[in-house]
Chains A and B, each alone.
Chain A
Amino acid sequence: NAGVTQTPKFQVLKTGQSMTLQCAQDMNHNSMYWYRQDPGMGLRLIYYSASEGTTDKGEVPNGYNVSRLNKREFSLRLESAAPSQTSVYFCASTGRDSGELFFGEGSRLTVL
């Protein structure tokens, strides 16, 4: 019972490099989310997708792009990584308009 799977779990980048974080869920959920977690700031929403084919900005979208490839997959791309993007990234999904979010285990990204 996989739930929400994120890859990679760890990544180190140099400033200016690009990368994509992958997320997949096997619960047939409509909505998917990308959050970043920084010490003392809780989780902040980067982008979300209410359904396949739609994406919307959250609180902190600058420097990121997303793709809702299909109902299962929601990827987060950093086109030109910056040290301020060093963080732990969490993907989440939910099957209802509001309610329980199911989280992946996180991707720890360091930008040097």
Chain B
Amino acid sequence: AQSVTQLDSHVSVSEGTPVLLRCNYSSSYSPSLFWYVQHPNKGLQLLLKYTSAATLVKGINGFEAEFKKSETSFHLTKPSAHMSDAAEYFCVVILARKLIFGQGTELSVKP
């Protein structure tokens, strides 16, 4: 079976400092993985996706994620946080053609 675990329910950073949101998955084969972002009172928007073409995936708004099979991880990073990055972030894995969501990580950005 596949599942996805986001290791932090809440992350707080200062504006201009790096962001790291952690995600681990369990799968018996190479999965398709996604990161989505949800701003307050909005639907979810795709940030980036991994589908086995390249292990380092670049997304929108300066975010990127690295697929590490040996660690079964797909952590999301950004070199410098912006106030507009404050939102909830979801790591997602595909299971039997259905998307399974992690529990979410709320990112706060302090001035």
A residues with a Cβ closer than 8 A to B are 4, 33, 35, 40-45, 48, 50, 58, 90, 92, 97-101, 103-106
5 CB < 8 A contacts A-B: A41-B103, A42-B102, A45-B98, A50-B97, A100-B46
User: Given the complex of chains A and B, what is the CA–CA distance between A104 and B44 in angstroms?
Assistant: 8
Q: How far is the CB of B98 from chain A (nearest CB, A)?
A: 6
In the assembled complex, which residues on chain B have CB atoms less than 8 Å from the CB atom of A98? 32, 51, 94, 97
Q: Are A104 and B101 in contact (CB under 8 A)?
A: no
| Interface residues of chain B: helix, strand, loop or mixed (majority) | strand
Among A40, A41, A48, A103, contact of B98 (Cβ-Cβ < 8 Å):
A48
In the assembled complex, which residues on chain A have CB atoms less than 8 Å from the CB atom of B101? 35, 42-44
- A-B complex: 5 closest residue pairs judged by Cβ atoms: A103-B43, A42-B101, A43-B101, A103-B44, A42-B103
Question: Given the known A-B contacts A42-B104, A100-B49, are A105 and B99 also in contact in the complex, defined by CB atoms under 8 Å?
Answer: no
User: Given the complex of chains A and B, what is the CA–CA distance between A4 and B49 in angstroms?
Assistant: 21
Q: Are B104 and A45 in contact (CB under 8 A)?
A: no
In the assembled complex, which residues on chain B have CB atoms less than 8 Å from the CB atom of A44? 101
In the assembled complex, which residues on chain A have CB atoms less than 8 Å from the CB atom of B97? 50, 97-98
Q: Are B44 and A101 in contact (CB under 8 A)?
A: yes
Question: Given the known A-B contacts A45-B99, A48-B98, A50-B97, are A103 and B45 also in contact in the complex, defined by CB atoms under 8 Å?
Answer: yes
Q: How far is the CB of A10 from chain B (nearest CB, A)?
A: 11
User: Given the complex of chains A and B, what is the CA–CA distance between A103 and B94 in angstroms?
Assistant: 16
In the assembled complex, which residues on chain A have CB atoms less than 8 Å from the CB atom of B49? 99-100
Among B9, B45, B94, B98, contact of A58 (Cβ-Cβ < 8 Å):
B98
Q: How far is the CB of B103 from chain A (nearest CB, A)?
A: 5
In the assembled complex, which residues on chain B have CB atoms less than 8 Å from the CB atom of A40? 9, 103-104
